[in-house]
Amino acid sequence: MHSYDANGNPVYQVPYADSSKGLRDTTLRDVKKLGLYPSVTEILKILDKPGLNVWLQHRVLESALTLPRDPDESDESYIKRIMTDSQETSKIAAEKGVEIHRAIEKAFYLKGEEIPTEYMDLAFSVKKEIQKEIGTIVYSERSFSNVKLGYGGTIDLGNGSYLADIKTKEVLDTSKRLAWDEHIMQLSAYAHGIDLPDSCLVNIFVGWNGDIEFVYWNDPNEIERGWQMFRTAFRLWQLQKRYFPGRG
């Protein structure tokens, strides 16, 4: 579970009770015990994501169409193989999206890490386009906690004017709507979380081939709507988890 301490440091893992075993992923129980703050993305997981659901359904259908059925195989066994195959395919795609996302962030602020060679050209091409569009980036992967509001997060990119979140897509189809309620909820939560609610908010969609599209949130009413939706979602999260960090 992605969470942060009061100083804005990520606490994604904690030590096992037996320290010789190393680290394990942080759980809700750990968050409560340590008084941590949930991430914005963790909070938004309580919401249904129609776009993601359709994408996952497509992966299942693709597996069903391409995976041959063994002779005399039962329906139950065949369905299980289809689901396993689609999950593996989805996992590989998700991991590649994360790798590309990280490569782009590293292009802005390396932190001593090298960008994988296969993503080097894409990452620096995207960096050039972003800085051409919104100016010099002051910070990348900025983590924070807002003790009063009770949550934390990590912002992809920002400067004195813009606060940006990057989304990678296997195929960037600009004929379709790219940005939805969950995107403005996330951005508005970040803006309030770092006490810069008047920042210009922008989603940056990047295709695996390097295509890029900027979606700006310019309507103050939509931004306020996004903020109120996030606050409502967070209240639901608190009630579901029986955990009430912060005073907001």
Q: What pLDDT is attached to residue 133?
A: 95
Residue 14's pLDDT band (boundaries 50, 70, 90)?
Answer: very high
Judged by DSSP in three states, 68 sits in coil
- The residue ranking higher by pLDDT, 37 or 176, is 37
The mean predicted confidence, pLDDT, of the chain is: 91
Task: Of 171, 183, 189, 173, give the one whose Cα is nearest residue 228.
Answer: 189
Alpha helices in the chain (DSSP H): 28-34, 40-44, 50-66, 75-108, 117-134, 181-193, 220-241
Q: Which residues contact 215 (CB under 8 A, 6 or more apart)?
A: 178, 179, 183, 202, 203, 204, 205
First-to-last C-alpha distance (Å) of the chain = 21
Report in angstroms the alpha-carbon separations of 68 from 57, 65, 99: 18, 8, 31
| Beta carbons of 68 and 178 less than 8 angstroms apart | no
pTM for the full predicted model: 0.86
- What is the CATH number that goes with domain 3-241? 3.90.320
Can you tell me the distance from the alpha carbon of 46 to that of 236, in angstroms, rounded to the nearest whole number? 8
- Name the residue type at position 191: A
Q: Per residue in 183-224, pLDDT tens?
A: 999 999 999 999 999 999 999 999 999 999 999 999 999 999
Maximum mean pLDDT: which of 29-38, 88-97, 105-114: 29-38
Q: What pLDDT is attached to residue 33?
A: 94
Task: Of 83, 76, 81, 93, give the one whose Cα is nearest residue 60.
Answer: 83
